[in-house]
Amino acid sequence: MTNEPRWDDERLDVAFHEAFDRPAPADLVQTTVARLAAARTGRLQRWSSHWRLLTGVAAAGLVLVAATAVVIGLGALNGTAGTVTDGPPGFRTFHGSGISFDFPDSWTFRDASIASSGGSTIGIVGTLPVDAGCGGGHVDINCYYQQKLTPGTISVVIGTGAYRGGTIFDDERIADGAERIVVAGLPALFTDRGDVPGNYYDADLQLDWAVAYPANVTNVYRIEVAIRGPGVDDYRAQAEALVASFRFNEPGEPLPTGPDRLAAAEATVATYLTKAEADYDRGWGVRDGNGPSYYACFPAAPNTTKTLVIRHGPGGALGGPLEVTCSTEIHSDGDHFWRIDLSLSWPAGPAYPTGRYRETAWLTATGEIAGGRWDGDAVPDLTAATPTPPSNLNASFPRTVLGLPVISVSEAIRHRDT
- Comparing 398 with 106, the larger pLDDT belongs to 106
Of 302, 306, 356, whose CA–CA distance to 329 is shortest?
Answer: 302
Burial 80-99 (b: 16+ CB within 10 A, else e): eebebeebeeebbbbbbbbb
Compute the distance between CA of residue 303 and CA of residue 329 in angstroms, rounded to an integer: 5
Cα-based distances in Å from 295 to 298, 305, 327: 6, 13, 11
Compute the distance between CA of residue 133 and CA of residue 239 in angstroms, rounded to an integer: 27
* Mean pLDDT value across the chain: 80
pLDDT at 357: 96
pLDDT at 28: 53
pLDDT at 154: 98
pLDDT at 166: 86
* 362 band by pLDDT with thresholds 50, 70 and 90: very high
What is the model's pTM? 0.68
pLDDT reading at 163 higher than 90:
no
Q: What's the longest Cα–Cα distance across the chain?
A: 78
Q: Residue 305: beta bridge partners?
A: 327
Burial class (CB in 10 A: 0-12, 13-18, 19+), 143: middle
pLDDT at 81: 44
Alpha carbon distance, N-terminus to C-terminus of the chain: 37
DSSP 383: G
Q: Residue 337: beta bridge partners?
A: 333, 364
Residue 25 CB neighbours (<10 A): 8
Share of the chain above pLDDT 90, in %: 55
Q: Do you know the residue count of the chain? A: 418
Per-residue pLDDT tens over the stretch 164-187 = 878 998 888 887 789 999 999 899
- Comparing 28 with 111, the larger pLDDT belongs to 111
Q: Are 157 and 107 in contact (CB under 8 A)?
A: no
Which of 8-12, 28-32, 73-77, 199-203 is the least confident region? Answer: 73-77
DSSP 401: E
- Top-ranked range on mean pLDDT: pick from 38-47, 168-177, 264-273: 264-273
Residue 199 CB neighbours (<10 A): 16
Per-residue pLDDT tens over the stretch 64-112 = 233 323 333 333 333 334 899 999 999 999 999 999 999 999 999 999 9
Compute the distance between CA of residue 412 and CA of residue 391 in angstroms, rounded to an integer: 11
Which of 233-242, 368-377, 382-391 is the least confident region? Answer: 382-391
Which of 46-60, 190-204, 217-231, 396-410 is the least confident region? Answer: 46-60
pLDDT reading at 227 higher than 70:
yes
Residue 399 CB neighbours (<10 A): 10
* 393 band by pLDDT with thresholds 50, 70 and 90: low
pLDDT reading at 370 higher than 90:
yes
- Comparing 385 with 145, the larger pLDDT belongs to 145
- Comparing 334 with 248, the larger pLDDT belongs to 248
pLDDT reading at 57 higher than 50:
no
pLDDT at 406: 72
Q: What is the mean pLDDT of residues 342-348?
A: 96
Q: What is the mean pLDDT of residues 188-195?
A: 94
* 287 band by pLDDT with thresholds 50, 70 and 90: confident
Q: What is the mean pLDDT of residues 224-248?
A: 97
pLDDT at 18: 58
